Structure 1
């Protein structure tokens, strides 16, 4: 009986394995997108630092009012881009957390099913061992009974 129950669960396990693999792929994609967002933010921040260093260098030499206005305008745009990229990174981090939780749930379900099947298989094995032992005991008793006559 337990062996048959384990066999009946095989399609359910296959579905759970597919769902877990899909979730793992989605997690990988989400992590890759988060990594890209982190790289882009780092590039923007380095660009800002370089641009600010350029201000320090040019400022020591003296700059025109127009140069200063252009510098401030561009720096403002750069700060906006950095803030937007930070928001994007925050979104990607939250998404990775959600996708990871979904994967963990699917993985836990799959492991639970595997343990259940293992338990059914162990039960079936124990029942079979008991049947064999009973048959051996009965055979042994019969042989012992024949030897008396």
Structure 2
């Protein structure tokens, strides 16, 4: 009976395992998206630093007002791009957190079902062992007893 309970749970376990696999793939996807967003942000920060160093070098030589306005405009655009990339990174990190939570829940469900199935299997094995022991006991009682003093 317990064995059949374990067998009846097999499709449920399969579905839970598929859901966990899908959740793990989703988690991996969002981990990749976070890495890409972090790399883009690092590139933009590096580019801004490089541009600021150029400004210092160019400033030593002297610059025109028009060049300075263009430069400040470009730095403002670069700052906006960096802010947008930070927002993008935060969005991807939020998705990653949700995906991680979803995977953890799916994983816990699979593990819980596996433990339940194993418990059913163990119970079935114990019942079978008890039946065998009872049968052996009955058979041993039916056997003619030989006295060692004959």
TM range (shorter): over 0.9
Q: Give the distance between the partners of 1:68 and 1:2, measured in 2 at CA.
A: 81
Partner in structure 1 of residue 52 of structure 2: 52
Give, in angstroms, the shift of residue 81 of structure 1.
Answer: 0.1
Residue 78 of structure 2 aligns with which residue? 78
How far the C-alpha of 1:126 sits from its partner, in A, is 0.3
TM-score if structure 2 supplies the norm length? Answer: 0.96
Give the alignment of 1:42-121 within 5 angstroms.
42-121=42-121
**Which residue number corresponds to residue 32 of structure 1?**
32
Work out the CA distance in 2 between the residues paired with 1:20 and 1:82. Answer: 35
d(CA) in 1 for partners of 2:146 and 2:75?
A: 105
Deviation of 1:128 after TM superposition, in Å, equals 0.4
Superposed displacement of residue 139, structure 1: 1.1
1:113-138 Cα distance to aligned partner (Å, 9 max, x none): 00000000000000000011111111
Map Cα deviations across residues 70-128 of structure 1 (whole Å, 9 max, x no partner).
Answer: 10000000000000000000011111000100010010000000000000000000000
TM-score (norm 1): 0.96
Size of the aligned set, in residue pairs, is 147
Q: Which runs of 5+ in 1 are unaligned?
A: none
Aligned pairs (5 A) from 1:6-17? 6-17=6-17
Question: 3-state DSSP class of the match of 2:63?
Answer: coil
Instruction: Specify every segment of 5 or more residues in structure 2 that has no aligned partner in the other structure, as ranges.
Output: none
Runs (4 or more) in structure 1 with deviation over 6 Å come to none
Residue 15 (structure 1) shift: 0.3
Question: How far apart, CA to CA, are the structure 1 residues paired with 2:4 and 2:146?
Answer: 40
Shift in Å, 1:147: 3.8
